[in-house]
Structure 1
Amino acid sequence: MRYAERLEKLATLMRVHGIENFLITRGPNLLYFAGIDGPAALVVSLKLERPVLFVPPLSLHAAEEYAYSGLEINNTGTNARFEVVVAETLSSLDGTLAVDDIDIDTYRLYSALLREREIRQGSSVIWELREVKDEEEIQAIRKACEVADRAMRAAYEVLYPGITENEVKAEVLAEIHRSGGERPAFDVIVASGPRSALPHGPLQRGGMRDRALARGDVVLIDLGAVVEGYHSDITRTFALGKVGEEFETAYRYVLAAKEAAEQYIKPDTHCSYPDSVARRKLEEARLDQHFMHSLGHGVGLEI
């Protein structure tokens, strides 16, 4: 990946926004700029010759092998808390300090360690870079989509009455790994019968039991794969045998809405417009009131 180019673009945006020092701790952002997703912290400063990657001892060898070679790697050791070591470097760097997303406890800790120094929220600067993918990122996403397609095909081939949702899910997970995926992009959803109406499937952690598929079921499968850190996400709906006319009508309108929206997935189009196109199409069948989800979401290092 083009880590040097990304860091240079970040430095340019830091100058534009009046940021002299940037502390990056979120896993996806670390992966984007440093090539590893933590536990670690990356300090990018206009005052330093190279960015500094702070890692605990357990992550040192992984960082030395996999992190971008243009970084200075700092082993924080075991004698002091990780954040204390990072703060010591930050305290030596004058000027404005921005951070990516950190929880309130971490913010308070750094604020105390840096003696109430002003800490700015800088996530929007990073999102400005990450939202536009380079060719290497696009290729990784395409590979992740190919793995997901194969996993969906594997799921389709085992759909028959009597198999359980968890058994279908197991086949999906196995195929993701067989096809070169690092892991699923999220918890795979297999929802059958009445459960297929739930936008994100049954909340099995909440006590809902596994369900066996039955003839006449509608089966919703939502899955994704991760390749080189990049995610894919696809959803398909299957009918296990004959289904009712009401479902077939709804299916046709949803398909038509998707195809209508696809015509407006192009540069210079606001994301809200394809969403509104899809909703207007669903209004024709009075289905818009059941469209609880947004039309889509970003893909990349996160879903």
Structure 2
Amino acid sequence: MQSRLQRLRETLSSANVDAFVVTDILNVRYISGFTGSTATLLVDSNSIKILTDSRYMEQLAQECPSATIIQVQRNWTKRAAELITDAKYLRVGLEYSIPYRDWESLNLLSVETELVPMESPINQLRWKKDDVEILAIRHAARITDMAFKHVLTVLRPDITERDVAVEIECFMRRSGAESEAFDTIVAAGPRSAMPHARSTNRRIGTGSLAVMDFGARHDGYHADITRTVLIGTPSEEQQRVYNTVLNAQRTAMEAIRPGVSGGAIDSLAREYIEKSGYGAYFGHGLGHGLGLDVHDGAILAKDSRIILEAGMVVTVEPGIYIPGWGGVRIEDDVLVTENGYEILTHSDKSLAVR
């Protein structure tokens, strides 16, 4: 935590602010180690203060022993304004994500201080993972892979999308996940053309594409994979679309290494799909950062200028979605290494599973 705090302080010095107020709870956790759901940080060059209510005092004492813990009631802004005024800060940075009501309250109470809304530097610090974070993501990825292997044993034509999702989520919990990373997506038949479909009572059926997008959360960190499967024998077009997505993913992953832009990686997969005749059916970005948030920055996107660095963890998830016909998406979690990349998820990628 000290190295993260030091890096934050260096960015604050560059931004010419005396202190920084952190309200995003994931950023609070990243900087302080606090795993609760409600807290605000006030960070300056010498101290870190955590403001929260009585429910978390004991937890904070255990998780953040080096921080100054300040108990507040509902309105934390009043106490924060007192601290800002007492310290005689001239400029204090605020995360853009701060609720307007809280910003307005701080602004009214901190009359001698200039409040500076800004893109949180913590968001960018979180892109590059340390060894502890990578270990947690590896664990989440292992549980996720185990869940996919399990669900293949119960997949049958008469099982519903919703029951498949329940099987995945229950297995991950039993295998050590603290929760699922997000609401599990299972979409079969024409519904597989909806990238973020909600699971329903539709049966998987025979000869239908079924997209499963899910992940485990371990120690606050996420895994996120997608597999597309089919019970029976795929048609020529189903296999062609599947192979196009699979090869687009491989093409993109093979180019991942430090120094390459996220936009360049996205372009490789996008161009492959376009040359195969399906460019109109791939609308979303190729992938995103992965960490404390399941979408930890749009790193692999069409217009991304983010330069890959060793320690970043990204998803690579091209897809083709044809309305009324169905869709295919294949997604894996990838660690950027000093010399290239390492795939962290290893679930089988066969289309036909029966």
Q: Is the TM value for this pair above 0.5?
A: yes
Q: Alpha-carbon deviations, 1:127-180, whole Å to 9, x = none? A: 232111111111111111111111222222211011111111111111111121
- State the AA in 1 paired with 2:245: V
1:280 and 1:264, CA in 2 relative to 1: closer, same or farther beyond 3 A?
same
Which stretch of the first structure deviates more once superposed, 84-93 or 281-290? 84-93
Aligned to 2:30, the other structure's residue is in SS state helix
The aligned residue for residue 131 of structure 1 is: 127
The aligned residue for residue 62 of structure 1 is: 59
Q: Is the 8 A contact 2:164 2:186 kept in 1?
A: yes
Distance 2:112 2:154 in 1: 59
Q: Is the 8 A contact 2:94 2:120 kept in 1?
A: no
Match of 2:151 among 142, 155, 159: 155
Distance 1:87 1:56 in 2: 16
The aligned residue for residue 293 of structure 1 is: 284
The aligned residue for residue 87 of structure 1 is: 81
Distance 2:15 2:203 in 1: 56
Q: Alpha-carbon deviations, 1:210-249, whole Å to 9, x = none? A: 2122111211000011111111111000011122211111
The aligned residue for residue 94 of structure 2 is: 99
- State the AA in 1 paired with 2:51: F
Q: Does 1:275 align with 2:266?
A: yes
Q: Is the 8 A contact 2:161 2:202 kept in 1?
A: yes
- State the AA in 2 paired with 1:61: E
Aligned to 1:299, the other structure's residue is in SS state coil
The aligned residue for residue 226 of structure 1 is: 217
The aligned residue for residue 320 of structure 2 is: none
| Cα offset, 1:270, TM superposition | 0.1
Distance 2:142 2:177 in 1: 10
Which stretch of the first structure deviates more once superposed, 252-261 or 94-103? 94-103
Q: Does 1:190 align with 2:186?
A: yes
| Cα offset, 1:272, TM superposition | 0.5
Distance 1:125 1:168 in 2: 39
Q: Is the 8 A contact 1:161 1:215 kept in 2?
A: yes
Q: Is the 8 A contact 1:163 1:212 kept in 2?
A: yes
Distance 1:153 1:90 in 2: 53
Distance 2:118 2:26 in 1: 15
| Cα offset, 1:114, TM superposition | 1.8
Distance 1:11 1:284 in 2: 47
| Cα offset, 1:181, TM superposition | 1.0
Q: Specify every segment of 5 or more residues in structure 1 that has no aligned partner in the other structure, as ranges.
A: none
The aligned residue for residue 49 of structure 2 is: 52
| Cα offset, 1:302, TM superposition | 0.7
Distance 1:235 1:291 in 2: 15
Aligned to 1:32, the other structure's residue is in SS state helix
The aligned residue for residue 8 of structure 1 is: 6
Which stretch of the first structure deviates more once superposed, 32-41 or 159-168? 32-41
Greater relative contact order (Cα 8 A, min sep 6): structure 1 or 2?
2
1:38 and 1:122, CA in 2 relative to 1: closer, same or farther beyond 3 A?
farther
Aligned to 1:295, the other structure's residue is in SS state coil
Match of 1:33 among 26, 31, 35: 31
The aligned residue for residue 17 of structure 1 is: 15
Aligned to 1:102, the other structure's residue is in SS state coil
The aligned residue for residue 106 of structure 2 is: 110
- State the AA in 2 paired with 1:55: T
Q: Alpha-carbon deviations, 1:262-284, whole Å to 9, x = none? A: 11111000000111111111122
- Count matched residues: 291
| Cα offset, 1:7, TM superposition | 0.9
| Cα offset, 1:28, TM superposition | 0.7
Larger strand proportion, structure 1 or 2?
2
| Cα offset, 1:116, TM superposition | 7.8
Q: Specify every segment of 5 or more residues in structure 2 that has no aligned partner in the other structure, as ranges.
A: 295-354
Distance 1:293 1:12 in 2: 35
Overall identity of the aligned pairs, in %: 32
> Structure 2 length as normaliser, TM-score?
0.78
Aligned to 2:232, the other structure's residue is in SS state coil
Q: Is the 8 A contact 1:30 1:38 kept in 2?
A: no
The aligned residue for residue 284 of structure 1 is: 275
Match of 2:239 among 221, 236, 248: 248
The aligned residue for residue 75 of structure 1 is: 71
Aligned to 1:211, the other structure's residue is in SS state coil
Please tell me the root mean square deviation across aligned C-alpha atoms, in Å: 1.6
Aligned to 1:92, the other structure's residue is in SS state helix
- State the AA in 2 paired with 1:39: T
